[in-house]
Chains A and B, each alone.
Chain A
Amino acid sequence: MKNEFLKLVLPLIAVCLCCGADWPQFRGPLTNNVATSETPPSKVDQENIAWSADLEGRGASGPIVVGDKVFITSTTGFKQDQLHVHCFDVNTGKRLWERQFWATGRTQCHNKMSVATSTPASDGERVFATFSSNDVICLDLDGNLLWIRGLSHDFPNASNSLGMASSPIVVGETLIVPVENDDDSFTTGLDVKTGIARWKIKRPRVANWTSPAILKSTPEAEALVLLQSSEGVDAIYPETGETAWQYEQGAGRIPSTTVGENILFVPSNGLTALAPGTSSDPPKVLWKEQKLSPATASPLVYQKKVFTVNRAGVLSCGNLQTGEIVWRLRLKGPFSATPIAAANHLYLISEKGLLQVVQLSEEKGDVTGEIDLKETILATPAISNNSLFIRSDKHLWKISSK
Chain B
Amino acid sequence: MQRSRFLFCLMFLFSSLTVLQANDVEQDIAKIKQVQKEGQGNLTASKAVQQLSQSDASALIPILSSFEGANPLALNWLRGAFEAIAAKAIQQKKLPVKKLEEFILDTSRNPRARRLAYETLIKVDPAAADRIIPGMINDASVTLRRDAVQRLINEAKKLEKADKKDQAKKVYQQALSGATDSDQVKNIVKPLRSLGEKIDLQKHFGFLSEWMIVGPFDNREKKGYDTVYAPEEKLDFAAALEGKEGKVNWKSVNTKDDYGIFDVAKSISPYKGAVMYCAADFHSPQKQSLEIRLGTPNAWKIWVNGKLLFARNEYHRGMVLDQYSVPVTVQPGKNVILLKLCQNEQDDSWAQRYQFQLRIARPSGTGVRSQKPEATTQLSP
A: residues with CB less than 8 A from B are 77-79, 97, 99-102, 104, 106, 108, 110, 135, 137, 139, 143-150, 153-154, 156-157, 160-162, 181-183, 190, 194-197, 205, 207
Contacts and interface: CB of A to CB of B under 8 A. Distances in A.
A145 B39 contact: no
Interface of A is mostly: loop
Interface centre among B43, B75, B76 (most CB of A within 10 A): B76
Given A104-B72, A153-B73, A160 B79 contact: no
B38 A154 contact: yes
Contacts of A153: 37, 72-73
B232 to A, nearest CB: 19
Given A100-B119, A137-B80, A145-B77, 7 more contacts: A79-B181, A144-B84, A148-B77, A161-B318, A194-B39, A195-B39, A196-B42
B80 A148 contact: yes
Interface residues of B, number: 40
A168 B77 CA distance: 21
B38 A197 contact: yes
A135 B45 CA distance: 17
Interface stretch (B92-100, B211-219, B308-316, B333-341): B308-316
Interface string B120-155: 000000000000000000000001001000000000
Contacts of B312: 157, 183
A148 B50 contact: no
Contacts of A197: 38-39
Interface in B44-83: 45-46, 49-50, 53, 72-73, 75-77, 79-81, 83
Interface centre among A99, A110, A143, A145 (most CB of B within 10 A): A145
Contact of A99 (B49, B73, B83, B311): B83
A154 B40 CA distance: 11
A78 B42 contact: no
A106 B293 CA distance: 12
Given A145-B53, A147-B46, A108 B318 contact: yes
Nearest to B143: A77
Interface of B is mostly: helix
Contacts of B311: 157
Interface of B: 37-39, 42-43, 45-46, 49-50, 53, 72-73, 75-77, 79-81, 83-84, 87, 112, 119, 143, 146, 181, 183, 297, 310-315, 317-320, 323-324
B183 A78 contact: yes
Nearest to A151: B38
A182 B72 contact: no
A78 B146 contact: yes
A171 B43 CA distance: 21
Contacts of A150: 37, 72-73, 76
5 contacts: A101-B80, A145-B80, A150-B73, A161-B318, A161-B319
B310 A148 contact: no
Given A181-B314, A196-B43, A148 B73 contact: yes
B77 to A, nearest CB: 6
Nearest to A182: B314
B220 to A, nearest CB: 18
In the A-B complex, list the 3 residue pairs whose CB atoms are closest, starting with the nearest. Answer: A145-B80, A161-B317, A196-B39
Contacts of A135: 76
Interface centre among B79, B80, B324 (most CB of A within 10 A): B80
A197 B317 CA distance: 29
Contacts of A182: 313-315, 317
A78 B183 CA distance: 8
Contacts of A147: 39, 42, 45-46, 49
B25 to A, nearest CB: 16
Contacts of A161: 297, 314, 317-319, 323
A99 to B, nearest CB: 5
Nearest to B324: A106
A146 B45 CA distance: 9
Contacts of B80: 99, 101, 137, 139, 144-145, 148
Nearest to B83: A99
A58 to B, nearest CB: 14
B76 A148 contact: yes
Contact of A102 (B38, B43, B72, B87): B72
Contacts of A110: 318
Contacts of A146: 46, 49-50
A251 B58 CA distance: 55
Contacts of A196: 38-39, 42-43
A168 B143 CA distance: 30
A292 B307 CA distance: 52
